[in-house]
Structure 1
Amino acid sequence: MTENQFESTVVVEISPQTEELVESEMAGETDELKRETKALIEALKRRAQAEAESAGTLTRETYLNAVRQAREALEGEKLIERDRLERSFAVVQEEAEKNWHLLLKEISEFGDRLQNAAKAAWEAFNAPRPES
């Protein structure tokens, strides 16, 4: 790290509601992804509340606008995650298809070898024998 670069760490208190929401909706995701999503939700909630309070009073319309902005931001995150998951699935599917084709090729080659071995055994079995 150079002198001009630094990393800041912000401690964000996660509400029980956010904790429960993220854990239930993102089961199976990495801890880092869950942690970052929780922090994003809390930041959006704080920003929505700050914007609503800066308007003077917490009116219904101001609150709805702040909630709408938070939802749109989260949906944007979900789209990014869905795209990433779809790309990952496509890669896994391509690998599975490639492996399937390799397996079929190996089975075909094995079948050919068995057929050749059976033919060789049959020819050896039916070969003329010297008379004793």
Structure 2
Amino acid sequence: MSANNNEPKESTAIVEISPQTDEMVETEMAGETDEIKRETKALIEALKRRAQTEADSAGTLTRETYLNAVRQAREAIEREKLISRDRLENSWTTMQEETEKNWHLLVKEITDFSDRLQDAAKAAWEVFNAPRS
């Protein structure tokens, strides 16, 4: 019996969700599925636990060093979002330009074909009506 690779992987870890996280996710992600909300809540709680652990174990680091590391991580995440959005916007612009260019080429081809048909019809009419010797 083979496993279906398309099935979502179920997490076996039980994660306690704080009321604040629950309320925030339910408010901010109102239109999402329960599974997406559940996984997002678990992710937020894991990040909170990791951040707390890092803050607690920052004994060898100064608080300022820790805060700088956290800021750099946040800025890196925000930059990635901006880069992704810029890539998406550039792709959309390129697609619009290509579509417009292809439309103009199609219109030119149709116009050229129409002109050729008119010339052929005119030549056929002239041959048809030409006097016979």
Q: Is it true that 1:18 corresponds to 2:24 in the alignment?
A: yes
Task: State how far apart, in whole Å, the 2-side matches of 1:18 and 1:71 are.
Answer: 22
Task: State how far apart, in whole Å, the 2-side matches of 1:89 and 1:9 are.
Answer: 39
Report the Cα offset of residue 16 of structure 1: 1.5
Task: State how far apart, in whole Å, the 2-side matches of 1:36 and 1:76 are.
Answer: 22
Instruction: Tell me the equivalent position of 1:42.
Output: 45
Change (3 A) 1:81 1:38: farther
Change (3 A) 1:23 1:79: farther
Q: Give me the TM-score of the superposition, normalised by structure 2.
A: 0.52
Report the Cα offset of residue 10 of structure 1: 4.9
Counterpart residue identity of residue 87, structure 1: R
Gaps of 5+ in 2: 1-10, 58-62
Task: State how far apart, in whole Å, the 2-side matches of 1:95 and 1:122 are.
Answer: 40
Instruction: Tell me the equivalent position of 2:5.
Output: none
Deviations 1:46-86 (A, max 9, x none): 355567788xxxxxxx9xx98xx878755542331221122
Counterpart residue identity of residue 23, structure 2: Q
Change (3 A) 1:73 1:36: farther
Gaps of 5+ in 1: 1-7, 55-61
* Pairing 1:1-132 to 2, within 5 Å after superposition: 10-14=13-17, 15-20=21-26, 22-23=28-29, 38-47=41-50, 73-74=73-74, 76-127=76-127, 128-130=129-131
